[in-house]
Each structure stands twice: as structure tokens, then as C-alpha cells.
Amino acid sequence: MSNPKEFDIYEDTVRLQKSEDKKTNRYSKYCDFIFYESSITPGIKLAMRILKPEKPSYILCTTHGWHMSINGFEQIDDAPKSKYLQVQIDMRGRAFSDGEPDCNGYELYDIYDAAEYVKKHYSQYIIDDSVIYFEAGSGGGGNCYELISKFPDYFAAATALFGITDYAKWYNEDAKGEFKDEMDIWVGCTPDKNQMAYDSRSGIWGIENLHTPLFIAHGEFDIRVPVFHAENYINKAKELGKGELINYYCMQGVGNLNHWGNVTKEQTATVKRLSEENRALHKNPINLAPSGRLIVKGYLVTKKFSVFLDSIDKVAVLDYDINQNKYTVTSSVPLEYKIEVK
């Protein structure tokens, strides 16, 4: 980035060492650094950086890249003004957040907790707290694909930039071990030992849950996250009748070891414009049908009900009928589950 003090969702942030700062909030005119408690993992505190708009707007959540973290305490006083109430979540186990990374497991629930915290404590900056957006790239793009699968009616629109859609394929094609070493720990196994654990974290295996209008951008020659991640996701979405929810922009000639390698100003501007248009076109909350079928990958959270399996490594099918209060969970593996009706 040209200015390392500015968080830009179109750039990677630098990797930070674990902070030794006390878990205390810090505030400035346009930016706050907030610690909040996890509701899914008792006893851990998580960090987020909040950019405040000059006038009320919508909530836009984002996460950082795979090896990255959010900017810290020292980078809030001169933070830029934001069009949105932007919520930058530090994933669990990173520079400022407690806990351990789990690769699209409960770390995605931390995004939900962050948004719910902001809805409660920053209401003066929010036009409509039922309209929440998400945008992120690289590892954050992988978060995006799975986030809208685990929370199918929470986000009004989303943007995934050069994100991972299939973590098993990503693992198996990582010849240098740049990412698989962490997946061995964060997932806890290899795909050949437990394919379902990787499916439960991969957006491509939950497209049946896609209800969020999604903008995807990916570089044609991206090495770290190859473009097939986007293309395979889109092709499967079309097969499942979900293609109309996706707008895709392939950046021709872009990508090498840097996601944005060889990008032009015009291409960058197009990505930003199309992402913004996707949000502008979708300013209404998502509502699920009163009955249907959804995929549960570890857990599933909707406005009307939630389902929690006994492991984030397991996948199940949910047939539900809200009006009849019927919820049937089936799986190819033995499991226990809990259903919470709101």
C-alpha cells in the first residue's frame, strides 16, 4: 500500500506479531479499536477496527488475508473517513485476538459477533441495521464464500476478491507448503485423512445456501489462489440454479505471486465500481423461504433458527419447515446436533 497506515480492502495488510497490549478499547474521531467477547467460544476476546462515516450509512464488514491481521492501536488517529461503517475483524489467534485459527470454522462466527456488537453500540452511524455487507480478498475472500453459506440470510450483498472456494484443492496444489502447513494445524488434518473437514470449510460445497448477491473478481494468472477457484464456484452455482446471484469479473492478464500483479488502474477501478454497484443494487435484507433445504457445515445461522453440529468438521443436510416447526438433520456420518428456534 502507498500508505501503510490506511487499511484498504483491496490490498493485503502486513503480518503483525502478537500484541502484548492490554485488552482495552481505544477511540478517535473516525476510527475505534474495540475488543469484544466471543459468544461461541467462552473466555476469549477478539479485536476489530471500526471506521466511522461522517453521516449514517450501512455496515460493511471485512477480514484480512491468510497470513495477515488488521492494523493496530497506533494506526487509528489518522484513519481515513469511510463511506460505510466499516468493521475490520481481526481473526481469532491473529495479532490482537485471542483463541486459535480454525480456517472458516468458528472464526466466521466472530464476524457475526462483531456485526451484532456494532449494531448495538454504533446505532447512531447506521441507516438500517438489517442491511449488512461483506467484502474481503485472498484469505478474506475465502472467508466470504463460506460466510454466506453459514449465514445465508445475514448479508444483503457480498464481494469475494481472489478467494479460496475449495480448501482441499488449495491444499493439494500447494507444492511449496506456503499454506498447507497452517491448514495442517488450523483444520487439524490433511484432506486425505478427513475430506469432510475441508468440505465443511469450503464455499463451493455449500452453494445450495447461496441467497446473497455476490460479486466475484479474480486475476487470470493468480498463482497463490488460482482462478479455477472462482470459475469452479460459478459453474457449480449455475448448475444449481444460483447463477443469477453472481456477477463475475475476470481480470485479464492480472496475477502472479501477487493477486494484483500487472493490474491496471482501469481494472482496479472496475473492481471497485462493480463491487459498489452490487451493494447499491441490494439494500434490502435477505429472507429465506419458510420451508426448504440447506447444507449445515459445522453450524448454520439464520434469522429464524440455528443448527449446531457436534463438530465444525462435519456436514449435514437440513430439511426445515418454519411454519410447522419441523427440522430434520441427516448426514453420512454419525453426529449429534442442537437446533435453536428464535
Question: Do both 118 and 181 map to the same domain?
Answer: yes
- The structural domain count of the chain equals 2
Residue 2 lies in a domain: no
Once rounded to an integer, what is the mean pLDDT over residues 43-71? 95
Long-range contacts of residues 320-329, Cβ cutoff 8 Å, at least 24 apart: 320/291, 320/292, 320/293, 320/294, 321/290, 321/291, 322/290, 322/291, 323/290, 323/291, 324/291, 329/296
pLDDT of res. 17: 45
Closest C-alpha among 145, 44, 142 to residue 92? 44
DSSP output for 201-261: T-GGGGGGG--S-EEEEEETT-SSS-THHHHHHHHHHHHTT-GGGEEEEEETT--SSSTTT
Pull the grid cell for residue 168: 482441499
Instruction: Give residue-wise pLDDT tens across range 122-172.
Output: 999 999 999 999 999 999 999 999 999 999 999 999 999 999 999 999 999
Taking the C-alpha atoms of residue 96 and residue 226, their distance in angstroms, rounded to an integer, is 30
- The pair phi, psi for residue 312, each rounded to 5°, is -75, -5
Residue 161 lies in a domain: yes
Residue 73 lies in a domain: yes
Residue ending a domain, among 289, 312, 328, is 289
**Taking all residues of the chain, what is their mean pLDDT, rounded to a whole number?**
93
Taking the C-alpha atoms of residue 12 and residue 135, their distance in angstroms, rounded to an integer, is 13
Q: How many degrees, rounded to 5, is the angle at CA 303 between CA 333 and CA 279?
A: 110
Per DSSP (E only), the strands in the chain are 26-27, 31-37, 45-51, 59-63, 85-90, 132-137, 157-161, 214-219, 246-251, 291-297, 299-301, 305-309, 315-321, 326-330, 337-341
Q: Above 50 in pLDDT, residue 14?
A: no
- The pair phi, psi for residue 140, each rounded to 5°, is -65, -30
CB proximity list for 21: less than 8 A, separation 6 or greater = 72, 73, 96
Residue 98 lies in a domain: yes
Question: Do both 97 and 221 map to the same domain?
Answer: yes
Once rounded to an integer, what is the mean pLDDT over residues 97-102? 97
Q: Above 70 in pLDDT, residue 11?
A: no
pLDDT of res. 3: 30
- Show the domain range for 308: 290-342
Helix 139-150 crosses helix 107-121 at what angle (to 10 degrees)? 80
Taking the C-alpha atoms of residue 260 and residue 42, their distance in angstroms, rounded to an integer, is 38
Question: Do both 115 and 205 map to the same domain?
Answer: yes
Question: Do both 174 and 303 map to the same domain?
Answer: no
Instruction: Give residue-wise pLDDT tens across range 183-212.
Output: 999 999 999 999 999 999 999 999 999 999
- pTM for the structure as a whole: 0.94
Per DSSP (E only), the strands in 31-103 are 31-37, 45-51, 59-63, 85-90
pLDDT of res. 1: 27
249 bridge partner residues: 217
SS3 of residue 75 by DSSP: helix
Question: Do both 295 and 153 map to the same domain?
Answer: no
Q: Above 60 in pLDDT, residue 254?
A: yes
**Could you tell me the CATH number of the domain that includes residue 199?**
3.40.50.1820
Question: Do both 51 and 89 map to the same domain?
Answer: yes
Question: Do both 284 and 298 map to the same domain?
Answer: no
SS3 of residue 91 by DSSP: coil
pLDDT of res. 22: 63
Residue 135 lies in a domain: yes
Q: Above 50 in pLDDT, residue 16?
A: no
Pull the grid cell for residue 334: 454419525
- The pair phi, psi for residue 337, each rounded to 5°, is -150, 165
Instruction: Give residue-wise pLDDT tens across range 204-246.
Output: 999 999 999 999 999 999 999 999 999 999 999 999 999 999 9
Question: Do both 330 and 226 map to the same domain?
Answer: no
Lowest mean pLDDT among 67-71, 135-139, 286-290, 335-339: 67-71
Residue 11 lies in a domain: no
Q: Above 90 in pLDDT, residue 98?
A: yes
